[in-house]
Structure 1
Amino acid sequence: MCTTLEHVFERDKAFLERMFDCGVRSAAPGYRLAMTSTLRALVLACSLKPSPQESSSEAIGRDVLGALAEHDVTGELIRVVDHGVSFGVTTDEGEGDGWPPLRQKMLNADILVIATPIWLGQASSVCKMVLERLDAELGETDDEGRKITFGKVAAVAVVGNEDGAHHVTAQCLQALNDVGFSVAANGSTYWVGEAMQAVDYTDHDEKPEKTVQTTEVLAANTAHLARLLKGANYPA
């Protein structure tokens, strides 16, 4: 990629300036603030392994956070399996459910990243549980009747040592869009190892160049779209 991350960020700022100068001022006064404000991201790592075990999902999730930081996005990564999240399709499944605090972090974020491993060609059971919990957002609206996830952007990061990255990405992005998240162009990144081998993403001393490039594109476009939506949310 010949365009540096710094140039991408400057291009985003210039784009918003042009929109502001061309009349967006009256339609969306929040654009000026959105252009300069720091965004917040939440990465939910859907590894089956509890901490402190090594996790490729966590590793690629942290790589996404690092790439987002180049676009003035702060954030945190949470390994879901460490938090006792209950199965269900409501915002709170009652006593002992670890989802409500994670949900609040999601609501406070502008960007949600799902990082999941591939098992048997599928997203992990933890990932599917998270998507099921997000189903509750279909019934949650703001004062203007919009889903409270409108205005937020989702992305997906997938790792595995077999095929299945495109299938898992498609499942996750479709579900996230269904519950109200937007997805930027090339809003996913992945790495899969050679079939029938035992090499993990964490085994690389240097991250694969193509995956690094794809992660950088994900970060640039996701931050760009999140800023646009932060300045002017969807009308309905």
Structure 2
Amino acid sequence: MASYGDLKALFVNCTLKRSPEISNTQGLIDRSAHIMTAQGVQVSQLRAVDHDIATGVWPDMTEHGWATDEWPALQRQVMEADILVLAGPIWLGDNSSVTKKVIERLYGNSSILNEHGQYAYYGRIGGCLITGNEDGVKHCAMNVLYSLQHLGYTIPPQADAGWIGEAGPGPSYLDPGSGGPDNDFTNRNTTFMTWNLLHLARMLKDNGGVPAHGNQRSEWDAGCRFDFENPDYR
């Protein structure tokens, strides 16, 4: 079996609850993080709502009228990670406002280029975890994974997992009697997701990331068109 000890993973918990309040999303993060840690992966976690993250789509919002912005420091953690997992709750059938803010701030750095002239997130792996007590797991995962791939992350097969209770008001993942931690469907998908993230991260790291041809912004701006021809329909 491959070794994963040189990989780094970052889990961003997009709960609306500040520490030390119990986060049901954290409960599911812990399952995935445990598998990675057992394989020697250097796992980091942050709860976004505990940080003063400004609203906006620029790398540093203090340059755009905000008095404080902790995102630039958090962005450095993002860039150090081979694997990024965004995790959050469902509210009104959609991702939390914190999840959306984190994605917007990731977007604010997506035009930065790496040493190959590709967008900065190329060569990194993305996944997501969703929790809630109302429907919307697949909708939320679809939005997160689309956003990450659009920014340049590579998404492996079955890169999401989630848990929801019965429709309507009911117990959350960690509530006594919810059945969440013992749910075989959730546990299977969380395990598969975690290993797929590890496998694809290993493959990309061993091969130097995504091949740098046909996707280099620096070369496109310099006039290279990588065999693209604009057809003349006149």
TM-score (norm 1): 0.82
- Aligned residue for 2:122, secondary structure, equals coil
- Aligned residue for 2:146, secondary structure, equals helix
Counterpart AA for 2:206: G
Matches within 5 A, 1:14-163: 35=3, 37-94=5-62, 95-163=67-135
Answer whether contact 1:151 1:181 (CA < 8 A) is retained: yes
Alpha-carbon separation, structure 2, partners of 1:97 and 1:130? 13
1:76 Cα deviation from its structure 2 partner = 1.7
Structure exhibiting the larger radius of gyration computed from Cα positions: 2
Could you tell which deviates more after superposition, 70-79 or 99-108?
70-79
Answer whether contact 2:4 2:202 (CA < 8 A) is retained: no
Aligned length: 204
Alpha-carbon separation, structure 1, partners of 2:85 and 2:49? 16
1:209 Cα deviation from its structure 2 partner = 1.7
Kindly report structure 1 stretches of 4+ aligned residues shifted beyond 6 Å: none
Could you tell which deviates more after superposition, 110-119 or 141-150?
141-150
The verdict on how the C-alpha distance between 1:119 and 1:37 changes in structure 2, with shifts beyond 3 A counting, is: same
Corresponding residue number in structure 2 for 1:226: 201
- Aligned residue for 2:174, secondary structure, equals helix
Q: Does 1:177 align with 2:145?
A: no
Greater helix content: 1
1:197 Cα deviation from its structure 2 partner = 2.9
* Structure 1: runs of 5 or more not aligned: 1-9, 14-34
Corresponding residue number in structure 2 for 1:188: 160
The verdict on how the C-alpha distance between 1:133 and 1:70 changes in structure 2, with shifts beyond 3 A counting, is: same
Alpha-carbon separation, structure 1, partners of 2:184 and 2:131? 15
Show CA shifts across 1:38-57 (max 9, x none). Answer: 21110000001111111111
Corresponding residue number in structure 2 for 1:16: none
Show CA shifts across 1:130-156 (max 9, x none). Answer: 011111233100122011211110110
Q: Does 1:211 align with 2:186?
A: yes
Alpha-carbon separation, structure 2, partners of 1:131 and 1:152? 15
Alpha-carbon separation, structure 2, partners of 1:70 and 1:177? 27
RCO higher in structure (CA 8 A, sep ≥6): 1
* Structure 2: runs of 5 or more not aligned: 213-234
- Aligned residue for 1:138, secondary structure, equals coil
1:71 Cα deviation from its structure 2 partner = 3.3
RMSD between superposed Cα atoms in Å: 1.4
Alpha-carbon separation, structure 2, partners of 1:51 and 1:37? 29
Corresponding residue number in structure 1 for 2:230: none
Corresponding residue number in structure 2 for 1:6: none
Alpha-carbon separation, structure 2, partners of 1:56 and 1:196? 17
Answer whether contact 1:150 1:182 (CA < 8 A) is retained: yes
- Aligned residue for 1:150, secondary structure, equals coil
- Aligned residue for 2:46, secondary structure, equals strand
1:64 Cα deviation from its structure 2 partner = 1.5
- Aligned residue for 1:185, secondary structure, equals coil
Answer whether contact 2:87 2:129 (CA < 8 A) is retained: yes
1:77 Cα deviation from its structure 2 partner = 1.4
Counterpart AA for 1:106: V
Alpha-carbon separation, structure 1, partners of 2:157 and 2:9? 17
